[in-house]
Structure 1
């Protein structure tokens, strides 16, 4: 979700892409440092460059295309609805990115705790490990139960996907709900207040 949300509405600036520059990628990686640590990656080991930016954007394009498939027949996010990757291409891209890192499951079992599985990587390049980890996380999400709660927010100017947390939720956040209600009210009253 964090990767898909790097495209969002930025107020008067319209749609913002947090990954539109190498500097933006570096900033996003720093913001994701806790999540990266869970994948065995240190944000300091990841020097953003144009090649890494392209690889991350490729995974994001695949993820957003597959998110659009999940929410169908409802419309996808308007941010990229006009330029989505075909679903079969997105699926192939995501699987290829996930397969770039050879990993093996390892059992970790402390003397005073429960056993846990971890993936041990045989890949030295942190860029490959990062892109593969992003793709694996997307595979886990898209094949898991949370996928059923995925929705595209259709409030005016919003382009986010979100996980529906309760039965009546229609928007990603309260401010989007407020904008949608204001827009509906404006549409209803616009016809009634128009003079001759």
Structure 2
């Protein structure tokens, strides 16, 4: 079963933020249990070095619980950092983590939870290549990889392009990759335009 979270092709930390998402029925959590957390991780697995499908296939029930707990904690911290960076005014998007220092501590702890290092492979007659290795169990290694990308995202000017989608009912974030982009997705943009059109048609003639 696939993840219920929208995957918009954003940087991995933003994809994790967006495991909290909204629709007409309210706000939902794609990481609301071990199966949801594993489904999300499998969906983004090709983007997480050096994790493989075999690592996830070997998860025990306790591992799956640990993974869900770690991902939710990092996700909630990320949403607090995103709210700080964007001045997010949306009450429905507020993270359970209220304190900025606490959110930063969660990210740093997650980033250091599993050692990661680069390794060079070079067989005779072949081409040298870089690979990434990680120590620790799969849940910690996976969350550590996302946390490392988080440090890079917020530690660079890219954070200035981070936006909260202000379409009605939306609680997602996105990276503004075009000067004209104002919404997380075409669907949100269409919803805003439809609402504007409806308001204009209902406005009494002067």
Q: Aligned residue for 1:90?
A: 103
Identify the match of residue 67 of structure 2 among 23, 37, 52: 52
Q: How does 1:23-42 map to 2 (within 5 A)?
A: 23-36=35-48, 38-42=49-53
Structure 2: gaps (5+ residues): 1-13
Unaligned runs of 5+ in 1: none
Q: How does 1:1-196 map to 2 (within 5 A)?
A: 1-9=14-22, 11-36=23-48, 38-42=49-53, 43-47=56-60, 49-72=64-87, 75-81=88-94, 83-108=96-121, 113=127, 116=130, 118-123=131-136, 125-192=137-204
Give the alignment's TM-score, normalised by structure 1.
0.81
Matched residues, number: 187
**Alignment root-mean-square deviation, CA:** 2.5
Cα distance per residue 1:128-179 (max 9 Å; x no partner): 2122112112112222343222111001111110111211211111211111
8 Å Cα contact 1:71/1:152 also seen in 2: yes
Per the TM alignment, residue 180 of structure 1 is displaced from its structure 2 partner at its CA by 1.0
CA distance in 2, matches of 1:143, 1:24: 29
TM-score (norm 2): 0.78
